[in-house]
Amino acid sequence: MRSRLVSNCAAVGSPAGLKCYNRFVAAPKEILAKTVLSRSGIGDYSVNCYVGCMHGCVYCYARFMRKFTDHAEPWGKFLDVKINAPLVLSNEVRRKKRGRVFVSSVCDGWQPIEMRYKLTRQCVRILVEAGFHTSILTKSKLVRRDFDILQGYQNCDVGCTLTTTDESLRFRIEPGASPTWERIRVLEEACERGIKAWTFLGPFLPGLTDTDESLDRLMGAIAPLPLEHVCADKLNMRPGVWGSIIRFLNKYDSRMIDWYEKLFFDEETHEQYRQSLVARLQAAASTHGVTEKLRIIC
């Protein structure tokens, strides 16, 4: 497949992004979807207008999706665009039972390519207007573009994933996503515009984004916002994640690999870690008055 230089800087739009987010990726492939409103364990349905994600998070759980494609490139280096997604969805919402829709479950619907295609924007409009509860989770400030659609609707909410306030670390683990401060601004603006907002904290990288100091800063950053709730979870070793974590640690600090291996694959050690993380999340939430809103998943 022909490769070309894709600059996502304008979409990412941050100083760090402007400097750094130039990367070689395969040219996006336009495909036709048969279904868009898919049954999901998260909510009743999920909608994904893209297969692949250019945010490139080292812990991405969606990498298992590659096996359903004909791509030889690794996860994060290819992108399929379901160009007929709004058309298919507009037919599906007429005949499927109303329910909660998660946007998006195996890609970020507001990754940089969405600037060009506006597929997620069109799908969100179709969903809220058809009376489906639309729950958004993103790491992109681009979602602000679509607040004009969401404003005034009660059957929708916007969440942003946050992992760390350390921008240099954030860039290494989520290179294509918006900086954390931009995501916090997204949540602020959603609240200002009367759109229900929430946050997902995690997944955390032990010793890096889950330190007491890091959790305290993260909780302190979201504490002033009138969020509906604050979810938090540990890192889970879903298929393909461990290989990606090893590749990351090899570049970051290879001395951490053995420790990570014990932490995630020794049952007793993992349980101790889980309990410690839960206690430290609760302590940080208590310090910043967020306890009532905190929902720890792990």
Interacting residues toward ligand SF4 by CB under 6 A = 53, 55-57, 60, 62, 107-108, 139, 177
Rounded Cα distance between 109 and 198, Å, is 17
**Helix axis angle, 257-265 relative to 241-252, nearest 10°?**
150
Asked if 185 contacts 163 with a C-beta cutoff of 8 angstroms, the reply is: no
Query: At its nearest, how many Å lie between ligand SF4 and the CB of residue 129?
Result: 26
Nearer to ligand SF4 by Cβ, of 120 and 155: the residue is 120
Number of Cβ atoms within 10 Å of the Cβ of 90: 17
Query: At its nearest, how many Å lie between ligand SF4 and the CB of residue 288?
Result: 25
DSSP secondary structure string, 162-230?
Answer: E--S-HHHHHHHSTTSPPHHHHHHHHHHHHHTT-EEEEEEEEE-TTTTSSHHHHHHHHHHHTTS--S-E
Nearer to ligand SF4 by Cβ, of 133 and 139: the residue is 139
Nearer to ligand SF4 by Cβ, of 103 and 156: the residue is 103
* Nearest by Cα to 29 from 89, 91, 87, 71: 71
Nearer to ligand SF4 by Cβ, of 57 and 85: the residue is 57
Query: At its nearest, how many Å lie between ligand SF4 and the CB of residue 25?
Result: 13
Number of Cβ atoms within 10 Å of the Cβ of 34: 7
Query: At its nearest, how many Å lie between ligand SF4 and the CB of residue 109?
Result: 9
Query: At its nearest, how many Å lie between ligand SF4 and the CB of residue 105?
Result: 8
Rounded Cα distance between 200 and 225, Å, is 14
Nearer to ligand SF4 by Cβ, of 53 and 227: the residue is 53
Rounded Cα distance between 115 and 101, Å, is 22
C-alpha pair distances (Å), 260 with each of 177, 237, 269, 273 = 24, 11, 10, 11
* Nearest by Cα to 57 from 22, 8, 107, 110: 107
Nearer to ligand SF4 by Cβ, of 62 and 130: the residue is 62
Query: At its nearest, how many Å lie between ligand SF4 and the CB of residue 56?
Result: 6
Nearer to ligand SF4 by Cβ, of 9 and 87: the residue is 9
Query: At its nearest, how many Å lie between ligand SF4 and the CB of residue 139?
Result: 5
Question: Is the peptide bond between 112 and the residue preceding it cis, with omega within 30 degrees of 0?
Answer: no
Give just the sign of the alpha carbon dihedral 84, 86, 92, 98: positive
Query: At its nearest, how many Å lie between ligand SF4 and the CB of residue 108?
Result: 4
Asked if 226 contacts 191 with a C-beta cutoff of 8 angstroms, the reply is: yes
Nearer to ligand SF4 by Cβ, of 110 and 264: the residue is 110
